[in-house]
Chains A and B, each alone.
Chain A
Amino acid sequence: MNSLTMQRRVAIALLLALTVGGFLILIDGHNPFAAYKVLFFESFLDYWGFSNTLVKASPMLLAGLAVIIPMRAGVFNIGGEGQIYIGGLFGAIFALALPDLPGVLGVPLIFLSAAIGGAFWAAIPAYLKAYRGTNEVIVTLLMNFIAIHIVSYAVAGPLLAEGAPYPYSDEVSEAYRLPILMPRSDAHAGIVIGLAMAIILYFWLRFMPSGFQLDLVGRNARAAAYAGVDEKKTIIRAMLIGGSLAGMAGAIEVIGLKYRLFHLFSDGYGYDGIVVAFLAALNPIVAPLTALFLAGLSAGAGTMQRAVGVDSSVIEVVEGLVVVFVAAALVAPRNVSKSFLKTLLSQGLNSRSEHSEKKEA
């Protein structure tokens, strides 16, 4: 893979997206440079702002990896959002059911059960894709809504905390809460878990036969078959890994940030993961950077609105533009099969429009 050319192309795509976004800010009657400056300072150089960026980056990173791994096997996982919800649910159930374990044991087990939850939710579309030929984009996308409502039901019913004014569960015990990295802020250790995963997955894809073979399936499924790689099993494996990663993102939200299971607790992180993945050109080791970038955009958007008066929805437009430009930039160098890339491109666009629809709703 000629990753240098690819990353250069992605960088250009990013600049283009910011430029077009800048014109939108200009049309809105504001100075784009001032707006971007505020955005940058507030999300990366300000203590509180940066802590906020980190808080958002943790689930985005894991959700991004949850898109990258299946995509490297040629499967488009739009279902990160649902897998986050089910992961959060499983993690919370474990934490609430066994509240008295020591943290060193409890926290890994919470992550494990969250990963199992996410993997379970991803296994359904994976099976349908591998053995029934069903389009995974549709199935994963629709299952997101099911998952969101399952969590809403759980926290409004069986898990509802006593006397809660709002659908949320009881608090998880203190032993299970992730340590805080930046004192007095919300910035928790979730980002470390994401980073570790990114590094592990990078090495796995590059230096272990099973990871290399997963990548083969996405690049050329027929050549992979010729190399003795079972395409169906690989699809299942890739989706299970993706689901586990997204599920862990759900656990991070529960035991890192909110300490309870809330309804609607993930604000589209599963979809942000798609942007993270695209922007990283599907390279796990680049994903932490792109997650930080996207989290920064999102964290700074509010401040930008307050300080410069630019509507924060401009940032959503910029995110959308990033996907469009990066997808265009990826077409030429990866040069997998044409149809795969066409699907990739069009699906990328569709998913974003679904995303904004969902946010509007």
Chain B
Amino acid sequence: MEPYLKVTSIEKTFGAVRALDNVNLLASRGECIAILGENGAGKTTLASVLIGLYQPDSGQIELDGSKISVTSPAAAIEHGIGMIHQHFSLFGAMTAEENILIGLPGEKRGAAARARIRQLCDDFDFTVDFNVPVASMAVGMKQRVEILKALFRDVSILILDEPTSVLAPTEVAPFLQGVRKLVANGCLVFFISHKLDEIREIADRVMIMRHGRVEGILPVATTPMTQMSALMMGQDASGQPAEKTEIKETRLDTVLAPKALVVSDVSLTAPSGAEILKDVDFTLHAGEILGIVGIDGNGQTELSEVITGLKRQTSGRILLGDKEISNSTITERISDGVGFVPEDRHAEGLVLSLSVEENFAFRSVGEDKFMSGRLISRRAISKIAEEAVKVYDIRPSNPKLNASALSGGNQQKIVLAREVARARNLLVVVQPTKGLDVGATQFVQDQIRAVAQSGVGVLYISTELEHVLEISHRVAVMAFGRISGIVDPQNTTLQDIGLLMTASPEEKL
């Protein structure tokens, strides 16, 4: 078969960094190619070159036998190349339809266009609420709007950048189903992911990248997962399983451990009257990791914000150990030793325009360790940051660089290092491994385990079910702002958890 897309000798450097090093690729329509690689391996850079966000230093792209130059995302769309980014580009104040039709000439935005959007939704089994602005949608729905936007523009090549990292477990299967339909309709789909099982399920071939180079393009069906991860990590395959066996751990006797956090009958009502949290009640013990799972948007994020002081509960009490913190400010909770890794590291966890070292200090700049007398000690900040950069192997290892210059995984390490250092009593982490590769995920989880072992209570909120089950001593399931059940991950099936996640508030469980 004639290749539809031919990428030849693409090179791209940023300063001293070779982001893409002689990348070659042949791909046909109607196939799904997974792109696998660690953070910073060049996956996103390659995608950005294909959609015209970056211009390659050298090399060429041929589409359907003729050479093309993709100078901008608009040019990419004209060539039928679209991309769904990890961070969406939607207008929050607009509805789904307005977002999908934006930028199109007026005559293409009429009733026919609207009907076609709904048709696309039906074809790919996408549920989208057309009556609300995008800002009030859950992440999964926003992603569907993004995909619809590309589909509406008749893309023949669709690049998905870690599409499932934002989805609830229950949304993944339908999403993959939709991707399969795209492929069956002759689309060429690039699926950037770290999740080997997903790649196995969806992709025809897997392209493995490392340090900007293509380590191999292999058929998925005949390549063992161990070989994939070995190529990705640059280790021989035998090194991998050894790490995995360390994960098993003795279970914690929670009854004997002192209480780290007591959340009692906490409710949160939105100004609109919607019950976001309803009578949330649980106890977290010192040294325990309590996982909180649920379909995205069922109150998990708000629960983390109420516990850490970013939002105030409408009713109910929160105790940190024996101390009541129901009405404490964020700053008070910070000094009480509450660490918080928020869901969105770009928007919340970091100040990207500040240096790495300032990012270590910004959340509690008045603390003694950052001060000398009444003044901020830049030297103390540098010292603390340098140490953390070393311990956490944050790269590039220059703490004077802006945080924006680091890859997602390294940015997350900054947030984690900072909050772990602070968490004397409680660590609340939300989606801590979102968008991280296998190695970084392992690292983050190891750190969180270590914190728990040192006697800190950890609240681990995530939609990545396997991770939560693997790391947690107990798992609380949230549905519709309530805790619908707390289960033992060792003795619970995924079906049971699935049932609890969708348990309607009327049912007593």
Tell me the A residues contacting B by CB distance below 8 Å. Answer: 1-2, 206-209, 212-213, 216, 219-220, 222-223, 225-228, 334-336
Contacts and interface: CB of A to CB of B under 8 A. Distances in A.
5 contacts: A206-B376, A212-B362, A228-B331, A228-B364, A336-B353
Given A227-B364, A228-B331, 19 more contacts: A1-B354, A1-B402, A207-B378, A208-B376, A209-B366, A212-B365, A212-B376, A213-B365, A216-B351, A216-B362, A219-B351, A220-B350, A222-B348, A226-B310, A226-B340, A226-B363, A227-B365, A228-B330, A228-B363
Interface string B358-385: 0000111110000100111010000000
Contacts of B362: 212, 216, 223, 227
Nearest to A334: B353
Contacts of B212: none
Contacts of B351: 216, 219-220, 223
A226 B376 contact: no
B376 A209 contact: yes
Nearest to A209: B366
Contacts, number: 68
Nearest to B352: A335
A227 B329 CA distance: 10
B349 interface: yes
B502 interface: no
B170 interface: no
Contacts of A335: 352-353, 402, 404
B329 A228 contact: yes
A212 B375 CA distance: 11
Contacts of A207: 375-376, 378
A213 B354 CA distance: 12
Nearest to A211: B376
Contact of B330 (A1, A209, A222, A226): A226
A222 B309 CA distance: 13
Contacts of A227: 330, 362-365
B117 interface: no
B477 interface: no
B334 interface: yes
Nearest to B400: A2
B414 to A, nearest CB: 12
The 6 closest A-B pairs by CB, nearest first: A228-B330, A228-B331, A209-B366, A227-B363, A207-B375, A220-B351
Interface in B373-407: 374-376, 378, 402, 404
B256 interface: no
B354 A219 contact: yes
B366 A223 contact: no
Given A2-B402, A213-B365, A223 B350 contact: yes
Contacts of B404: 335
B447 interface: no
Contacts of B329: 228
Interface of B: 309-310, 329-331, 334, 340, 342, 347-355, 362-366, 371, 374-376, 378, 402, 404
Contacts of B354: 1, 219
Nearest to B344: A222
B355 A1 contact: yes
A228 B311 CA distance: 11
A2 B349 CA distance: 20
B134 to A, nearest CB: 15
B349 A226 contact: yes
Contact of B347 (A209, A216, A220): A220
Contacts of A226: 310, 330, 340, 342, 348-349, 363
Contacts of A216: 351, 362
Contacts of B365: 209, 212-213, 227
A206 B354 CA distance: 12
Contacts of A212: 362, 365, 376
B312 to A, nearest CB: 13
Contacts of B374: 208
A226 B365 CA distance: 13
B203 to A, nearest CB: 33
A34 to B, nearest CB: 42
B371 to A, nearest CB: 8
Contacts of A209: 365-366, 371, 376
B195 to A, nearest CB: 28
A227 B418 CA distance: 12
Contact of A223 (B309, B331, B348, B355): B348
Contacts of B366: 209
B376 A223 contact: no
A213 B375 CA distance: 13
A220 B351 CA distance: 6
A213 to B, nearest CB: 7
Contacts of B330: 225-228
Given A212-B365, A227-B362, A335-B404, A219 B310 contact: no
A216 B331 CA distance: 15
A223 B414 CA distance: 14
A206 B340 CA distance: 25
A219 B353 contact: yes
B372 to A, nearest CB: 9
Q: Which of B350, B353, B376, B378 has the most CB of A within 10 A?
A: B353
A180 B365 CA distance: 42
A136 B279 CA distance: 41
A336 B352 CA distance: 7
Contacts of A334: 353
Nearest to A337: B347
A208 B371 CA distance: 9
B351 to A, nearest CB: 5
A238 to B, nearest CB: 17
Most buried by A among B342, B350, B352, B378: B352
Contacts of B347: 220, 222-223
Contacts of B371: 209
Contacts of A213: 365
A228 to B, nearest CB: 4
Contacts of B376: 206-209, 212
A226 B375 CA distance: 22
Contact of B310 (A206, A208, A220, A225): A225
Nearest to A212: B365
Contacts of A219: 351, 353-354
A169 B331 CA distance: 51
